[in-house]
Amino acid sequence: MKTVFFSILLLGVLTINSCSKSDDNGDKPGENSEYLTAKVNGSNYTGGSEHGDFISATISSGVLVFQGTNNSGSGINFTIVNYTGEGSYKTGDHIENMNLIQYVEVSPMGAWSSNGVLTELGLEPGEINVTKQTNNHVEGTFKFVGFNPQDESTKSITEGKFRANLEN
């Protein structure tokens, strides 16, 4: 079951990675820029619409979903259930907390998640801070230690920053 789920997830990342957005609205450069940056085990991870990378965010029925992939096929995505706007949201701190954040790579293939009760494994809860939300975009910061149940490895994602235009 895990292999099937992971294969579907990988296929989704590859499909999304093949898409790109263009900015034809005539706005000043950077005015509507989208970005996703972080340090993954100390190494820089950078993505953004100006590089042709895919970044997306939606809010629907009290759930914020964000995803970003770069041209190398790696990505970070998160889901905040019971989203109420700007504020701080935890992941991996309680079995009833459905919030999720994860880092995914296609080569070598793997997914490192912060969800459920990772504190039982001695891992710190993840944190997503939404610092600004308008009708047009959402932005903030994040950090987490992701766990990969396939090989029981962890990845530390720190200094995460994101900005995405909200899709309707």
Tens digits of residue pLDDT in 42-52: 999 987 655 56
Return d(Cα 79, Cα 96) in angstroms, integer: 14
| Within-domain flag for 26 | no
pLDDT in tens, 51-100: 567 899 999 999 999 999 988 889 999 999 999 999 999 998 888 899 99
| Within-domain flag for 12 | yes
Find, among 9, 5, 1, 32, the residue nearest to 105 by Cα.
Answer: 9
Q: How many domains does the chain have?
A: 1
| Within-domain flag for 42 | yes
Return d(Cα 13, Cα 17) in angstroms, integer: 6
Q: Which residue has the higher pLDDT, 24 or 42?
A: 42
> Under a CB-based contact definition with an 8 Å cutoff, are residues 98 and 81 in contact?
yes
Q: Is 24 helix (H, G, I), strand (E, B) or coil?
A: coil
Give the largest Cα separation in the chain, rounded: 50
Percentages of the chain per state (helix, strand, coil), in multiples of 5: 15, 50, 35
| Within-domain flag for 27 | no
**Total-model pTM:** 0.79
Type of residue numbered 23: D
Query: Which structural domain range is residue 97 located in?
Result: 2-21+32-165
| Within-domain flag for 36 | yes
